[in-house]
């Protein structure tokens, strides 16, 4: 109304302030933290599965008969087809731990009288995480990268033919019927490659797990010894416009990781699916830019061009005195953008969240310009 003061409520930044300080208010709503030993039971990134399709039902063998129509002819129906075994990518499934070592489709029913066909066997659906590779004899036969994508792992057998099928002018009363075919049998190797937007790459004790705890609700184990993280963790960074960016904490790499040293190739494969990389270096060590050079070398030796993806260099442990001295030296040695922060105290974490959103928006625009749908969480 005229003459009355107007109060303008300025909304805060569109990005969440999920730093270490702000995360304490939501401690009661967080899930219980799992140790690495407990997590090993839940997170499985490879599985050997034997799949068998359902057997087809046998054909029916009968002759139609009723009062005043004794010779009604053959009326045995065909048997039902066996059920398939289908792998289905599910966004809510994060590990292969729930996948059993054996699956078999349901069998088809036998053909009945009066030309009644047997019912088809039901298909068995196996939920696997998004990003599952299906291999047979070392060759990739399927790559499930989208939610709801399906792959028929084993086809069910065809149903048998009833004696009605063999009726002809030459044979008016056939007694022949066929059994159902057995289902397809295969041995498949399932391999999970973590599908995340960003991947935290760094040497052991660089602070990757602490950083993931600071920007998301993930609870990876943190300790003062190398190789604390033995399994990849995926944390979700929430923004106020309901966009979600998935950040994967890859276990620490060492020199010679591409030769399967340390945790080696087992976890290098998880970096392949990351759309952009976050190189985490420890600013408190002498010449921290050497870490970045070694990390890029290991990625390049494993997969040529992997180190050239969009990236940002994160200088962690800026709260230490040695880190403040090494920070300007690091910026002189590297061409990429350097974000200095402290995952322990939460200092300057907000700058990382801003830049992480910029990388995500660029990725979404690039995928849409190519006519492809970007990965959403």
Which domains are delineated in the chain? 43-193 (2.70.210.12), 198-370 (3.40.50.300)
Mean pLDDT within 114-126: 92
Which range among 12-21, 112-121, 231-240 shows the weakest confidence by mean pLDDT?
12-21
Placement of tokens 């997969």 in the chain: 303
Q: Does the pTM of the predicted model rise above 0.85?
A: no
Which range among 74-88, 140-154, 164-178, 241-255 shows the weakest confidence by mean pLDDT?
241-255
pLDDT, tens only, 277-308: 889 888 888 888 888 888 888 888 877 888 88
**Cβ-Cβ contacts under 8 Å for 150 (sequence gap 6 or more):** 86, 87, 88, 89, 144
Mean pLDDT within 173-200: 88
Q: CA 327, CA 21: separation in Å to the nearest integer? A: 24
User: What is the reported pLDDT for 131?
Assistant: 83
Q: Where are the beta strands (DSSP E) in 255-328?
A: 276-282, 311-316
Distance of CA 260 to the CA centre of its chain: 23
Q: Which two tokens stand for residue 191?
A: 């391999």
User: What is the reported pLDDT for 228?
Assistant: 52
Give the pLDDT band (50/70/90) at residue 273: confident
SS3 category, 210: helix
User: What is the reported pLDDT for 153?
Assistant: 95
Which range among 36-45, 93-102, 368-377 shows the weakest confidence by mean pLDDT?
36-45
Per DSSP, the residues of 35-64 read: -HHHHHHH---EEEEEEEPPPPPPPP--B-
pLDDT, tens only, 215-269: 887 776 565 544 555 567 778 888 888 888 888 887 755 554 444 454 445 567 7
User: What is the reported pLDDT for 32?
Assistant: 55
End-to-end CA distance of the chain: 44
User: What is the reported pLDDT for 110?
Assistant: 92
User: What is the reported pLDDT for 155?
Assistant: 96
Q: CA 41, CA 85: separation in Å to the nearest integer? A: 25
Q: Which of 172-176, 179-183, 198-202 has the highest mean pLDDT?
A: 179-183
Look at residues 188, 232, 336 and name the one whose alpha carbon lies nearest to residue 276.
336
Q: CA 326, CA 318: separation in Å to the nearest integer? A: 9
For residue 135, what is the enclosing H or E element? strand 132-136
Give percent of the chain with pLDDT exceeding 90.
25
pLDDT, tens only, 204-215: 877 888 888 888
User: What is the reported pLDDT for 141?
Assistant: 93
pLDDT, tens only, 320-374: 888 888 889 888 888 888 899 888 888 888 998 999 999 999 999 998 998 887 7
Mean pLDDT within 308-316: 89
């Amino acid at each position: 109304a005229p003459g009355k003061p107007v109060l303008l409520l300025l909304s805060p930044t569109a990005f969440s302030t999920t730093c270490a300080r702000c995360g304490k208010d939501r401690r009661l709503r967080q899930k219980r933290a799992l140790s690495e030993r407990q997590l090993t039971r839940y997170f499985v990134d490879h599985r050997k599965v034997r799949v068998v399709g359902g057997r087809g039902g046998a054909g029916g063998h009968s002759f139609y008969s009723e009062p005043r129509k004794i010779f009604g002819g053959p009326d045995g129906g065909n048997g039902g087809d066996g059920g398939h075994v289908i792998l289905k990518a599910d966004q809510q499934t994060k590990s292969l731990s729930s996948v059993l070592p054996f699956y078999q489709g349901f069998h088809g029913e036998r053909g009945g009288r009066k030309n009644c066909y047997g019912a088809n066997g039901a298909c068995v659906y196996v939920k696997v995480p998004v990003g599952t590779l299906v291999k047979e004899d070392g060759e990739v036969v399927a790559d499930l990268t989208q939610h709801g994508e399906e792959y028929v792992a084993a086809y069910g057998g065809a149903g048998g033919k009833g004696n009605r099928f063999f009726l002809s002018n030459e044979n008016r009363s056939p007694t022949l019927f066929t059994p159902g075919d057995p289902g397809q049998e295969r041995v498949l190797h399932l391999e999970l490659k973590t599908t995340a937007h960003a991947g935290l790459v760094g040497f052991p004790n660089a602070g990757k797990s602490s950083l993931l705890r600071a920007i998301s609700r993930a609870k990876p184990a943190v300790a003062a010894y190398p190789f604390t993280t033995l399994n990849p963790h995926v944390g979700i960074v929430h923004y106020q416009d309901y966009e979600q960016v998935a950040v994967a904490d890859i276990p620490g790499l060492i020199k010679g990781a591409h030769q399967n040293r340390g945790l080696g190739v087992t976890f290098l494969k998880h970096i392949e699916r990351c759309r952009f990389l976050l190189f985490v270096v420890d600013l408190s060590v002498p010449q921290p830019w050497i870490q970045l050079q070694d990390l890029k070398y290991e990625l390049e030796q494993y997969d040529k061009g992997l180190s050239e993806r969009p990236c940002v260099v994160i200088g962690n442990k800026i709260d230490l005195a040695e880190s403040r001295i090494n920070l300007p030296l690091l910026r002189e040695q590297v061409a990429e953008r350097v974000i200095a922060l402290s995952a322990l105290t939460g200092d300057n974490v907000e700058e990382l969240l801003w830049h992480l959103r910029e990388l995500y928006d660029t990725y979404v625009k690039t995928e849409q310009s190519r006519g492809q749908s970007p990965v959403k969480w």
